[in-house]
A and B are shown apart, each in its own frame.
Chain A
Amino acid sequence: VLLQESGPGLVKPSGTLSLTCAVSGASITSDNWWSWVRQPPGMGLEWIGEIYRSGVTNHNPSLKSRVTISIDKSNNQFSLRLSSVTAADTALYFCARVCFEGGHRPTSGYFYSYYMDVWGKGTTVTVSS
Chain B
Amino acid sequence: QSMLTQPPSVSAAPGQKVTISCSGSSSNIGNNYVSWYQQFPGTAPKLLIYDNDNRPSGIPDRFSGSKSGTSATLGITGLQAGDEADYYCATWDNSLSAGVFGGGTKLTVL
A, B bound: yes
A residues bordering B, Cβ < 8 Å?
Answer: 35, 37, 44-47, 49-50, 58-61, 92, 94, 98-100, 108-117, 119-122
Q: Is the interface of A mostly helix, strand, loop or mixed?
A: strand
Residues of A within 8 Å of B92, CB to CB, are: 100, 112, 114
B residues bordering A, Cβ < 8 Å?
Answer: 2, 31-33, 35, 37, 39, 42-47, 50-51, 56, 86, 88, 90-92, 94, 96-104
The reply to whether A50 and B99 contact each other, CB–CB distance below 8 Å, is: yes
The reply to whether B98 and A60 contact each other, CB–CB distance below 8 Å, is: yes
The reply to whether B33 and A44 contact each other, CB–CB distance below 8 Å, is: no
Which one of A37, A44, A120 has the highest number of Cβ atoms from chain B below 10 Å of its Cβ? A44
Q: How far is the CA of A115 from the CA of B96 in the complex (A)?
A: 16
The 10 tightest CB contacts between A and B, nearest first, are A115-B35, A114-B92, A119-B44, A47-B99, A44-B104, A115-B50, A112-B92, A45-B101, A113-B33, A112-B32
Distance from B63 Cβ to chain A, minimum over Cβ atoms (Å): 14
10 contacts across the A-B interface (CB closer than 8 A): A44-B2, A44-B88, A44-B104, A47-B100, A109-B94, A113-B32, A115-B33, A115-B90, A116-B35, A121-B43
The reply to whether A61 and B31 contact each other, CB–CB distance below 8 Å, is: no
Distance from A119 Cβ to chain B, minimum over Cβ atoms (Å): 4
